[in-house]
Amino acid sequence: MKMDNVTNQRQMCIQHLSNFNLQYTLESGQSFRWNRVDDAYYGVVEGRILRIQQSDDTLIIESSGNEPISKPHLSHYLDLNRELASILAAVNVDAYIGQAINRFWGMRLLNQELWETIASFILSQNNNMGRIRSIIRTLSERFGSRLEFEGYADYTFPTPQALVDAGVDEIFDCGTGYRASYLWHAASKVSNEELKLDTLKQMNYTEAKHELMQLKGIGEKVADCICLFSLGHLTALPVDVWIKRIFETIYLRKRATAREIQEFAKNYFGEFVGYAQQYLFHYAQNHPNWADAEHLALRYKER
DNA sequence: TTCCAGGAGAGAG
DNA sequence: CTCTCTCATGGA
Protein backbone atom coordinates (compact mmCIF):
# COMPACT_ATOMS: atom_id res chain seq x y z
CA MET A 1 0.00 0.00 0.00
CA LYS A 2 1.34 3.35 -1.01
CA MET A 3 1.83 5.85 1.77
CA ASP A 4 0.45 9.31 1.39
CA ASN A 5 3.21 11.82 1.89
CA VAL A 6 0.94 14.44 3.34
CA THR A 7 -0.14 12.32 6.28
CA ASN A 8 3.50 11.82 7.17
CA GLN A 9 4.18 15.53 7.43
CA ARG A 10 3.16 15.72 11.07
CA GLN A 11 6.73 15.87 12.23
CA MET A 12 8.34 18.99 13.59
CA CYS A 13 11.68 19.82 15.09
CA ILE A 14 12.88 22.36 17.59
CA GLN A 15 16.61 22.75 17.23
CA HIS A 16 19.46 24.43 19.05
CA LEU A 17 17.91 24.00 22.48
CA SER A 18 19.87 25.32 25.37
CA ASN A 19 19.40 24.30 28.98
CA PHE A 20 16.48 21.97 28.43
CA ASN A 21 16.00 18.39 29.58
CA LEU A 22 12.78 16.73 28.45
CA GLN A 23 12.95 13.82 30.87
CA TYR A 24 13.48 15.93 33.97
CA THR A 25 10.73 18.31 32.85
CA LEU A 26 8.10 15.67 32.17
CA GLU A 27 8.96 13.35 35.06
CA SER A 28 9.13 15.91 37.86
CA GLY A 29 5.58 15.53 39.15
CA GLN A 30 4.11 18.74 37.73
CA SER A 31 2.17 16.89 35.02
CA PHE A 32 0.34 13.59 35.45
CA ARG A 33 -0.28 12.93 31.77
CA TRP A 34 3.02 11.93 30.13
CA ASN A 35 4.00 8.35 29.46
CA ARG A 36 7.45 7.20 28.52
CA VAL A 37 7.79 4.54 25.82
CA ASP A 38 11.43 3.69 25.21
CA ASP A 39 13.06 7.10 24.87
CA ALA A 40 10.00 9.00 23.69
CA TYR A 41 7.24 10.71 25.67
CA TYR A 42 3.56 10.48 24.76
CA GLY A 43 1.02 12.95 26.06
CA VAL A 44 -2.14 14.80 25.11
CA VAL A 45 -1.91 18.53 24.52
CA GLU A 46 -4.53 20.70 22.85
CA GLY A 47 -6.62 17.83 21.64
CA ARG A 48 -3.90 15.73 20.04
CA ILE A 49 -1.42 13.08 21.03
CA LEU A 50 2.13 14.36 21.03
CA ARG A 51 5.17 12.16 20.77
CA ILE A 52 8.27 14.03 21.84
CA GLN A 53 11.80 12.78 21.75
CA GLN A 54 14.96 14.62 22.67
CA SER A 55 18.38 13.96 21.24
CA ASP A 56 20.99 16.40 22.46
CA ASP A 57 19.84 19.92 21.57
CA THR A 58 16.98 18.84 19.32
CA LEU A 59 13.36 17.92 19.97
CA ILE A 60 11.52 15.75 17.47
CA ILE A 61 7.76 16.16 17.78
CA GLU A 62 5.09 14.13 16.05
CA SER A 63 1.38 14.36 16.63
CA SER A 64 -1.99 12.88 15.82
CA GLY A 65 -4.55 14.92 13.93
CA ASN A 66 -4.30 16.81 10.71
CA GLU A 67 -1.74 19.37 11.66
CA PRO A 68 0.97 19.50 14.31
CA ILE A 69 0.82 21.77 17.29
CA SER A 70 2.34 25.14 16.47
CA LYS A 71 5.93 25.74 17.44
CA PRO A 72 5.15 28.85 19.53
CA HIS A 73 2.48 26.91 21.46
CA LEU A 74 4.81 24.04 22.20
CA SER A 75 7.65 26.36 23.15
CA HIS A 76 5.35 28.08 25.59
CA TYR A 77 4.10 24.75 26.96
CA LEU A 78 7.67 23.63 27.63
CA ASP A 79 8.69 27.09 28.93
CA LEU A 80 11.48 27.30 26.37
CA ASN A 81 11.20 31.06 26.09
CA ARG A 82 12.63 31.70 29.53
CA GLU A 83 16.32 32.14 30.14
CA LEU A 84 16.70 29.23 32.47
CA ALA A 85 20.38 29.79 33.18
CA SER A 86 19.79 33.21 34.68
CA ILE A 87 16.81 31.98 36.70
CA LEU A 88 18.83 29.14 38.16
CA ALA A 89 21.75 31.44 38.83
CA ALA A 90 19.41 33.69 40.80
CA VAL A 91 18.15 30.91 43.06
CA ASN A 92 21.44 29.03 43.38
CA VAL A 93 22.25 30.51 46.76
CA ASP A 94 23.59 27.56 48.74
CA ALA A 95 25.10 24.10 48.45
CA TYR A 96 21.79 22.27 48.97
CA ILE A 97 19.89 23.76 46.09
CA GLY A 98 23.15 23.87 44.15
CA GLN A 99 23.22 20.10 44.33
CA ALA A 100 19.62 19.84 43.12
CA ILE A 101 20.20 22.29 40.27
CA ASN A 102 23.31 20.46 39.21
CA ARG A 103 21.56 17.08 39.29
CA PHE A 104 18.47 18.14 37.29
CA TRP A 105 19.87 20.93 35.14
CA GLY A 106 17.45 21.69 32.30
CA MET A 107 14.22 20.90 34.14
CA ARG A 108 11.63 23.53 33.36
CA LEU A 109 8.23 24.49 34.73
CA LEU A 110 5.50 23.67 32.22
CA ASN A 111 2.69 26.00 31.22
CA GLN A 112 -0.06 23.40 31.11
CA GLU A 113 -3.64 23.76 29.95
CA LEU A 114 -5.59 25.60 32.62
CA TRP A 115 -8.74 23.55 33.09
CA GLU A 116 -6.86 20.26 33.14
CA THR A 117 -4.43 21.70 35.70
CA ILE A 118 -7.23 22.99 37.93
CA ALA A 119 -8.96 19.61 37.87
CA SER A 120 -5.78 17.59 38.31
CA PHE A 121 -4.62 19.45 41.40
CA ILE A 122 -8.08 19.37 42.97
CA LEU A 123 -7.67 15.60 42.73
CA SER A 124 -4.13 15.75 44.11
CA GLN A 125 -5.03 16.72 47.65
CA ASN A 126 -4.09 14.16 50.30
CA ASN A 127 -3.26 11.74 47.49
CA ASN A 128 -0.16 10.25 45.88
CA MET A 129 1.30 10.54 42.38
CA GLY A 130 0.45 7.05 41.21
CA ARG A 131 -3.18 7.29 42.22
CA ILE A 132 -3.55 10.79 40.83
CA ARG A 133 -2.27 9.59 37.47
CA SER A 134 -4.55 6.60 37.51
CA ILE A 135 -7.65 8.64 38.42
CA ILE A 136 -6.93 11.17 35.67
CA ARG A 137 -6.47 8.35 33.15
CA THR A 138 -9.79 6.78 34.14
CA LEU A 139 -11.65 10.11 33.98
CA SER A 140 -10.21 10.75 30.52
CA GLU A 141 -11.05 7.25 29.27
CA ARG A 142 -14.66 7.59 30.39
CA PHE A 143 -15.42 11.24 29.66
CA GLY A 144 -12.79 12.41 27.18
CA SER A 145 -12.38 11.75 23.45
CA ARG A 146 -10.34 8.86 22.17
CA LEU A 147 -7.23 9.66 20.13
CA GLU A 148 -4.85 7.39 18.29
CA PHE A 149 -1.37 7.81 16.98
CA GLU A 150 0.54 4.97 15.36
CA GLY A 151 -1.02 2.32 17.55
CA TYR A 152 -0.82 4.40 20.71
CA ALA A 153 -4.21 5.36 22.17
CA ASP A 154 -4.99 8.06 24.69
CA TYR A 155 -7.85 10.39 25.59
CA THR A 156 -8.36 14.12 25.89
CA PHE A 157 -8.98 15.39 29.39
CA PRO A 158 -12.76 15.77 29.91
CA THR A 159 -14.23 19.19 29.29
CA PRO A 160 -15.97 20.94 32.21
CA GLN A 161 -19.31 20.31 30.48
CA ALA A 162 -18.59 16.60 30.13
CA LEU A 163 -17.95 16.33 33.87
CA VAL A 164 -21.03 18.36 34.73
CA ASP A 165 -23.10 16.01 32.59
CA ALA A 166 -21.44 12.95 34.12
CA GLY A 167 -22.45 13.94 37.64
CA VAL A 168 -20.84 13.41 41.03
CA ASP A 169 -21.54 9.68 41.27
CA GLU A 170 -19.91 8.87 37.93
CA ILE A 171 -16.90 10.99 38.88
CA PHE A 172 -16.71 9.18 42.22
CA ASP A 173 -16.66 5.86 40.38
CA CYS A 174 -13.38 6.85 38.76
CA GLY A 175 -11.73 6.53 42.16
CA THR A 176 -11.64 10.18 43.14
CA GLY A 177 -12.94 9.51 46.65
CA TYR A 178 -14.39 12.47 48.52
CA ARG A 179 -12.87 14.88 45.96
CA ALA A 180 -15.64 14.02 43.44
CA SER A 181 -17.96 16.80 44.60
CA TYR A 182 -15.09 19.32 44.51
CA LEU A 183 -14.32 18.42 40.91
CA TRP A 184 -17.96 18.53 39.85
CA HIS A 185 -18.39 21.90 41.54
CA ALA A 186 -15.34 23.34 39.76
CA ALA A 187 -16.52 21.93 36.43
CA SER A 188 -19.89 23.61 36.83
CA LYS A 189 -18.35 26.97 37.78
CA VAL A 190 -16.14 26.88 34.70
CA SER A 191 -18.79 25.62 32.31
CA ASN A 192 -21.33 28.26 33.33
CA GLU A 193 -18.56 30.87 33.21
CA GLU A 194 -18.92 31.86 36.83
CA LEU A 195 -15.18 31.30 36.66
CA LYS A 196 -13.78 32.60 33.37
CA LEU A 197 -10.53 30.93 32.42
CA ASP A 198 -9.50 33.67 30.00
CA THR A 199 -9.93 36.27 32.70
CA LEU A 200 -7.92 34.16 35.13
CA LYS A 201 -5.06 34.10 32.63
CA GLN A 202 -4.95 37.89 32.55
CA MET A 203 -4.72 38.28 36.32
CA ASN A 204 -1.55 38.75 38.31
CA TYR A 205 -0.40 36.11 40.79
CA THR A 206 -2.24 37.49 43.83
CA GLU A 207 -5.51 37.99 42.00
CA ALA A 208 -5.40 34.61 40.27
CA LYS A 209 -4.60 32.76 43.49
CA HIS A 210 -7.42 34.48 45.33
CA GLU A 211 -9.87 33.76 42.52
CA LEU A 212 -8.90 30.08 42.41
CA MET A 213 -9.35 29.74 46.17
CA GLN A 214 -13.02 30.63 45.79
CA LEU A 215 -13.56 27.11 44.45
CA LYS A 216 -14.33 24.25 46.81
CA GLY A 217 -11.35 21.98 47.27
CA ILE A 218 -8.80 24.63 46.33
CA GLY A 219 -6.75 26.00 49.20
CA GLU A 220 -3.41 27.78 49.19
CA LYS A 221 -1.32 24.84 48.09
CA VAL A 222 -3.48 23.74 45.16
CA ALA A 223 -3.95 27.35 44.03
CA ASP A 224 -0.18 27.79 44.04
CA CYS A 225 0.28 24.63 41.96
CA ILE A 226 -2.13 25.96 39.35
CA CYS A 227 -0.43 29.37 39.35
CA LEU A 228 2.99 27.74 38.95
CA PHE A 229 2.30 24.84 36.58
CA SER A 230 -0.20 26.52 34.28
CA LEU A 231 -0.23 30.29 34.67
CA GLY A 232 3.50 30.95 34.73
CA HIS A 233 3.63 32.76 38.07
CA LEU A 234 7.14 31.88 39.20
CA THR A 235 6.71 33.49 42.62
CA ALA A 236 4.13 30.86 43.57
CA LEU A 237 5.37 28.40 46.19
CA PRO A 238 3.21 25.31 46.75
CA VAL A 239 3.97 23.92 50.21
CA ASP A 240 3.20 20.21 50.14
CA VAL A 241 4.47 17.57 52.56
CA TRP A 242 7.78 17.30 50.68
CA ILE A 243 8.52 21.01 50.59
CA LYS A 244 7.50 21.27 54.23
CA ARG A 245 9.90 18.48 55.15
CA ILE A 246 12.76 19.99 53.13
CA PHE A 247 12.42 23.42 54.69
CA GLU A 248 11.92 22.14 58.22
CA THR A 249 14.96 19.91 57.92
CA ILE A 250 17.48 21.88 55.91
CA TYR A 251 16.62 25.54 56.27
CA LEU A 252 14.52 26.27 59.36
CA ARG A 253 15.71 23.39 61.54
CA LYS A 254 12.40 23.19 63.38
CA ARG A 255 8.75 22.41 62.84
CA ALA A 256 7.18 25.18 60.80
CA THR A 257 3.81 26.17 59.38
CA ALA A 258 3.28 26.63 55.66
CA ARG A 259 3.01 30.35 56.36
CA GLU A 260 6.46 30.48 57.96
CA ILE A 261 7.96 28.48 55.11
CA GLN A 262 6.44 30.79 52.49
CA GLU A 263 7.76 33.87 54.24
CA PHE A 264 11.26 32.48 54.63
CA ALA A 265 11.51 30.96 51.16
CA LYS A 266 10.28 33.97 49.22
CA ASN A 267 12.76 36.16 51.04
CA TYR A 268 15.58 33.63 50.72
CA PHE A 269 15.20 32.56 47.07
CA GLY A 270 13.58 35.67 45.63
CA GLU A 271 11.20 36.12 42.72
CA PHE A 272 11.94 32.75 41.12
CA VAL A 273 11.18 30.74 44.25
CA GLY A 274 8.81 28.55 42.22
CA TYR A 275 11.72 27.23 40.18
CA ALA A 276 13.76 26.70 43.34
CA GLN A 277 10.89 24.73 44.79
CA GLN A 278 10.69 22.39 41.78
CA TYR A 279 14.38 21.51 41.92
CA LEU A 280 14.26 20.87 45.67
CA PHE A 281 11.07 18.83 45.33
CA HIS A 282 12.34 16.64 42.53
CA TYR A 283 15.73 16.15 44.12
CA ALA A 284 14.16 15.06 47.41
CA GLN A 285 11.89 12.60 45.62
CA ASN A 286 14.85 10.97 43.94
CA HIS A 287 17.13 10.94 46.95
CA PRO A 288 15.41 9.29 49.91
CA ASN A 289 16.90 10.36 53.22
CA TRP A 290 18.21 13.61 51.76
CA ALA A 291 15.77 15.54 53.90
CA ASP A 292 13.97 12.68 55.57
CA ALA A 293 16.21 10.98 58.11
CA GLU A 294 17.00 14.21 59.85
CA HIS A 295 13.40 15.21 59.68
CA LEU A 296 12.25 12.17 61.57
CA ALA A 297 14.70 12.97 64.33
CA LEU A 298 13.44 16.52 64.33
CA ARG A 299 9.84 15.46 64.82
CA TYR A 300 10.78 12.98 67.53
CA LYS A 301 12.67 15.68 69.38
CA GLU A 302 9.79 18.16 69.24
CA ARG A 303 7.10 15.78 70.51
C1' DT B 1 -2.91 -3.33 60.91
C1' DT B 2 -1.33 1.15 60.53
C1' DC B 3 0.72 4.77 57.91
C1' DC B 4 1.13 7.76 54.08
C1' DA B 5 0.20 10.59 49.90
C1' DG B 6 2.04 17.51 45.62
C1' DG B 7 -4.61 19.14 51.52
C1' DA B 8 -8.87 21.38 52.43
C1' DG B 9 -13.15 22.24 55.12
C1' DA B 10 -15.55 22.50 59.34
C1' DG B 11 -15.56 23.26 63.99
C1' DA B 12 -13.50 24.58 68.48
C1' DG B 13 -10.82 27.47 71.19
C1' DC C 1 -6.54 34.11 64.17
C1' DT C 2 -4.57 28.92 64.97
C1' DC C 3 -5.16 24.04 66.10
C1' DT C 4 -7.44 19.49 65.33
C1' DC C 5 -10.26 16.07 63.17
C1' DT C 6 -12.17 14.07 59.23
C1' DC C 7 -12.57 13.01 54.56
C1' DA C 8 -11.85 7.86 50.21
C1' DT C 9 -8.40 5.09 48.44
C1' DG C 10 -4.67 1.81 47.62
C1' DG C 11 0.12 0.71 48.15
C1' DA C 12 3.89 -0.01 51.43
A262-271 mean pLDDT: 97
pLDDT at residue A299, as a whole number: 59
Share of chain A above pLDDT 90, in %: 89
Q: Which long-range contacts (CB under 8 A, 24 or more apart) does A81-90 make?
A: A82/A108, A84/A18, A84/A19, A84/A20, A84/A108, A85/A18, A85/A19, A87/A234, A87/A272, A87/A275, A88/A275, A88/A279, A90/A270, A90/A271, A90/A272
Q: Is residue A137 predicted with pLDDT exceeding 50?
A: yes
Cα separation, A142 vs A131, whole angstroms: 16
In whole angstroms, how far apart are CA A159 and each of A71, A86, A209? Answer: 24, 37, 22
pLDDT confidence tier of residue A276, bands split at 50, 70 and 90: very high
pLDDT at residue A303, as a whole number: 45
Please choose, from the candidates A261, A216, A266, the residue with its C-alpha nearest in 3D space to the C-alpha of residue A242.
A261
pLDDT at residue A133, as a whole number: 98
Q: Is residue A167 predicted with pLDDT exceeding 90?
A: yes
Mean pLDDT of chain A: 94
Strand B atom within 7 Å of A31 CB: no
pLDDT at residue A56, as a whole number: 96
Q: Residue A30: which nucleotide is closest by CA–C1'?
A: B6
Q: What's the CA A241/C1' B4 distance, rounded, in angstroms? A: 10
pLDDT at residue A288, as a whole number: 84
Q: Residue A240: which nucleotide is closest by CA–C1'?
A: B6
Cα A206–A121–A213 angle (5° rounding)?
A: 35
Strand C atom within 7 Å of A151 CB: no
Higher pLDDT, A78 or A68: A78
**A46 alpha carbon, distance to own chain's centre:** 15
Q: Is residue A73 predicted with pLDDT exceeding 50?
A: yes
A141-170 mean pLDDT: 97
Q: Is residue A5 predicted with pLDDT exceeding 50?
A: no
Q: Is residue A6 predicted with pLDDT exceeding 80?
A: no
Q: Residue A131: which nucleotide is closest by CA–C1'?
A: C10
A287 contacts: CB under 8 Å, gap ≥ 6? none
Amino acid at A131: R
Q: What's the CA A241/C1' C10 distance, rounded, in angstroms? A: 19
Amino acid at A284: A
A84-102 mean pLDDT: 98
pLDDT confidence tier of residue A99, bands split at 50, 70 and 90: very high
Q: What's the CA A124/C1' C4 distance, rounded, in angstroms? A: 22
Report the predicted TM-score, pTM, of the whole model to 2 decimal places: 0.95
Please choose, from the candidates A210, A259, A269, A264, the residue with its C-alpha nearest in 3D space to the C-alpha of residue A235.
A269
Q: Are strands A58-63 and A11-14 parallel, antiparallel or unpaired?
A: antiparallel
Number of Cβ within 10 Å of residue A97's Cβ equals: 23
Q: Residue A177: which nucleotide is closest by CA–C1'?
A: C8
Nucleic strand C contacts from chain A, 113-142, CB < 7 Å: 126-128, 130-131
DSSP single-letter state for residue A144: S
Strand C atom within 7 Å of A288 CB: no
Residues in a beta bridge with A52: A41, A61
B chain positions with any atom within 7 Å of a protein CB: 4-9
